[in-house]
Amino acid sequence: MDIKSKIKFLLIQAAKDKKTLTYGEVVKAVDTDKKVINYGRGPKASLFYKLLSDLSKESYSQNKILLSVLVINKQKKEPGKSFNRLAKELLNSENVYWKDELQKVYDFYSNNNKEKIIKPTKSSDVNQTETLILGVDAAWKKENPTGVALLKISNNNELSLVKFGRSFSEFLNEDPIDFLKAPNNELQSFDLFLEKTIDKFKDIKIIALDIPIWSSKIVSRRFADNEVNKYYGKKWASTHSPTEDRPGFLSVEYYKACEKFGFKYANSEFNKQRSFMEVYPHISIIEFLNLEKRLAYKVEKKNKYWKEENREVRNQKLFENLNMLRNYLSENIIDFEENIPLIKDKIHKKSYEDLLDGFVCALTCYFHYLGKTVSYGDETGKIWGIINNSSEK
């Protein structure tokens, strides 16, 4: 993750906690060795202040708030002169009261990060005239749980949470979700899951699946896999190689189930017809978060990510990255904040990761709905990603 993105997510978390940070605290948190930024004077300090200004310009353009108001001078207990100059320029006023601007940021990012057991939305609460999209982080082995997220697109293109589960069974149940325990994985058939889901939520338009899918068994790498690697290999986000055994016949099962219930394989941009598409969360996350390389958030790879660190530090770094992704999703999906807690040590880690991947799949659906996706592949299969700098062909 680049320095600017790190600063942004640090400030957002501070806003949710209704706290300010000193310039020194921000530098220490995102660039401990001061290799890129610093505070005070000099080129590194100038870059730091420019990044803060850029973040405020972006947040003001999008939400009419000045994000860098959260960063204050340690001695004066208020933002520096560069913030005041920028605020006067953006607000077009000589009278800027920084505490008023600070309160606006606090109000925008309400602090609802409480660990709790969640009651999922009931199917009866959904307006069936809305457009629904389904994200499925499909496990490559049937015995493993699959994270699922159902979102609703309103008439003005606002995105909100409808229902979610860390497995097919958990999604279909109306029982409270206990994030501290592994999910019930009794139902393992995608065909049966889709039948039951469509029976409750009839207006699903797009399904995004994180698994290689095709009408016949995939036994080796495809052109689509190699195309993704061409653009994202340098960002450490090469695709996994499908084989005859993994995912094996699951690729066909998912494909056939979607076709059975009236969905067409996505060969082109969304055309208002029911469709299903293959996605790859790593490349979507890179574009969502504007990362220089893939996010290190996979629970089972934490020992590989941070080989020299002890268990406590590995978990800390893993939680930071998972919460970074979680906070991005929270910013873009209404009702997400209240329903998905920040990850902590007691929370079941792997199923939490699977659930976030399900939401990433669904959010990629949303971008496809808006016409902001690009495909990699040919007539043997396509993987869809987000249009951005990395995906320019």
Mean pLDDT in residue range 296-325:
94
Residue 13 confidence (pLDDT): 80
Could you identify the residue written with the tokens 């279909």? Answer: 172
Residue 110 confidence (pLDDT): 64
Residue 122 confidence (pLDDT): 45
Mean pLDDT of the chain: 89
Q: How far apart are CA 375 and CA 261, in angstroms?
A: 23
Residue 62 confidence (pLDDT): 76
In this predicted structure, which of 7-11, 57-61, 124-128, 347-351 has the lowest mean pLDDT? 124-128
Residue 16 confidence (pLDDT): 82
Mean pLDDT in residue range 296-305:
96
pLDDT at 128 over 60: no
Q: What distance separates the 2 farthest-apart alpha carbons in the chain?
A: 68
Nearest 5°: phi and psi at 264?
-105, 140
Q: Which two tokens stand for residue 32?
A: 């401990």
pLDDT in tens, 206-241: 999 999 999 999 989 999 999 999 999 999 999 989
Among candidates 363, 370, 359, 333, which has minimal Cα distance to 160? Answer: 333
Contact yes or no for 48/23 (Cβ under 8 A): yes
Residue 61 confidence (pLDDT): 83
pLDDT at 77 over 50: yes
Write the CB contacts of 124 (distance below 8 Å, at least 6 apart in sequence): none
pLDDT in tens, 84-110: 899 888 888 877 789 989 999 998 876
Percent of the chain whose predicted confidence (pLDDT) is above 90: 67
- Number of Cβ within a 10 Å radius of residue 5: 18
Residue 277 confidence (pLDDT): 97
Residue 245 confidence (pLDDT): 85
389 pLDDT band, cuts 50/70/90, is very low
